[in-house]
Structure formats: C-alpha cells, structure tokens
C-alpha cells in the first residue's frame, strides 16, 4: 500500500498524464509528417503502442518503488520532486535542443520500430511510477488515465503532424516539462509543510 503522505487530485493526475504523453505526441507528429494522406491505421497503431507502454511503465515503477518504502518514508517528498524535476527538465532540454527518438522520422509501423519507440517514449513514466509509490495514488485508475490520455494524444499527434507539420513539437515538450516540474514542486512544498491543499 502507498504511504498516506500526499493525496493527488484528479486534475494533478490528468496534468501528469498529459505531460507524460508529450514524448509520444511528438513522435506521433513525426509519424504524421511521413504521410501525404492521414492514415487511421497509423494513428491507431501509434495510440495503442504508446498508450499501452505509458500505462505499463508507471505500474512497473510503482511496484519497484513500493519495495523500498520503508527506507525512503522520510524522504518521499524529496524523491517525488527530484524524479519529476529531472523528467521535466529532460523533456524541456530535448524539446529545445531538438533531440529526436530513433526511428521517429519514418513511416514504419513494424513491431521492432514501434517497440523501441514505445520504450523510448515511456521511460519517464517508469520514474513517475516510482514517485507514485511515495504518495497516495490509486494505481489502476491512475495508469488507466495515463494510458488513455497518451492514446488520445498519439492519435491527435499523427493527425496534427499530417495537417500542420512539426511546429507544435517543440512547445509540446516544453509545456509538458514545465507541468511536471510544477507538480513536483507542489509535492515538495506540501511535504515541507510550506503549503497545504
């Protein structure tokens, strides 16, 4: 059972889900750029791969983090903040300096390509899952929200990439990173009893 230290609201969880979906959204935009005509098949394949792994990884992270709860109880707010800050900062860095996920520029939907992209875009969610073990989170509803949100954003990403090009890719990563950092900061300030919600 998670430590009853912080209670995450639905809005906070939704913001985390949106933030985590930004990598998959960006890659989906790149996939959409590779097609002259919008493909529902491509959009659904991207949505299913990215959504599934975005739900799987925080589940794995949660159970890994739960194994160490007794050792980290006094530091949970610092750990959650640190993880969310690092994830958010990395998202911003990659958005600004234009790092692309391997294979994101091509239209291939083969299993190997999609598996590698799904892993690459969901690594951040693994760390978020560890932070979930430090706070009061309903795991199954949380990962369902994260997975469905990523599915929707991935499908939209393919469509947006096809219609508008890549002009939203950079800002999506920056906005997602900032949201994660702010949520991490809120958790830290609550843990330090600077603020209370």
- The answer to whether residue 1 is domain-embedded is no
- Give every CB contact of residue 162 below 8 A, 6+ residues apart in sequence: 32, 33, 35, 37, 38, 39
Domain presence at residue 148: yes
- Residue 66 tokens read as 């739960």
Q: What is the dihedral of CA 22, 23, 25, 26, to 10 degrees?
A: 120
Give a yes or no: residue 5 inside a domain. no
Ranges 97-106, 115-124, 149-158: which has the least confidence: 97-106
**Whether pLDDT at 5 is above 50:** no
In a domain, 126, yes or no: yes
Tell me the residue range of the domain where 121 lies. Answer: 10-191
Residue of 85, 114, 111 whose CA lies nearest to 180: 85
pTM over 0.75: no
Residue 137 lies inside a defined structural domain of this protein: yes
Query: Please, are residues 166 and 37 in contact by the beta-carbon 8 Å criterion?
Result: no
First to last CA, the chain: 22
**95 has pLDDT over 90:** no
Q: What average pLDDT does the structure give for the chain?
A: 80
Structural domain contains residue 171: yes
Domain contains 176 = yes
Domains in the chain, number: 1
Residue that the structure tokens 């760390």 belong to? 127
Q: How confident is the model at residue 145 (pLDDT cuts 50, 70, 90)?
A: very high
Weakest mean pLDDT among 5-14, 40-49, 71-80? 71-80
Domain assignment present for residue 74? The answer is: yes
The per-residue pLDDT for range 14-67, each reduced to its tens digit, is: 999 998 898 889 888 878 877 778 889 999 999 999 999 999 999 998 888 877
């Amino acid at each position: 059972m998670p430590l009853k230290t912080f209670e995450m609201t639905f809005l906070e969880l939704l913001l985390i889900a949106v933030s985590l979906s930004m990598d998959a959204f960006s890659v989906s935009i790149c996939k959409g750029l590779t097609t002259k005509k919008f493909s529902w098949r491509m959009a659904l394949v991207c949505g299913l791969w990215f959504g599934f792994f975005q739900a799987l990884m925080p589940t794995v992270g949660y159970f890994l983090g739960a194994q160490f709860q007794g050792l980290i109880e006094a530091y949970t707010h610092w750990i959650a903040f640190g993880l969310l800050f690092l994830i958010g900062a990395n998202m911003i860095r990659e958005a600004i300096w234009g790092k692309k996920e391997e294979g994101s520029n091509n239209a291939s939907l083969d299993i190997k390509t999609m598996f590698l992209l799904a892993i690459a875009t969901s690594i951040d969610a693994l760390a978020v899952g560890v932070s979930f073990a430090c706070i009061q989170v309903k795991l199954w509803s949380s990962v369902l929200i994260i997975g469905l949100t990523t599915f929707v954003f991935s499908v939209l990403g393919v469509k947006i990439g096809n219609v508008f090009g890549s002009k939203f890719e950079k800002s999506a990563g920056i906005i997602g990173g900032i949201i994660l950092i702010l949520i991490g900061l809120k958790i830290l300030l609550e843990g330090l009893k600077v603020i209370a919600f």
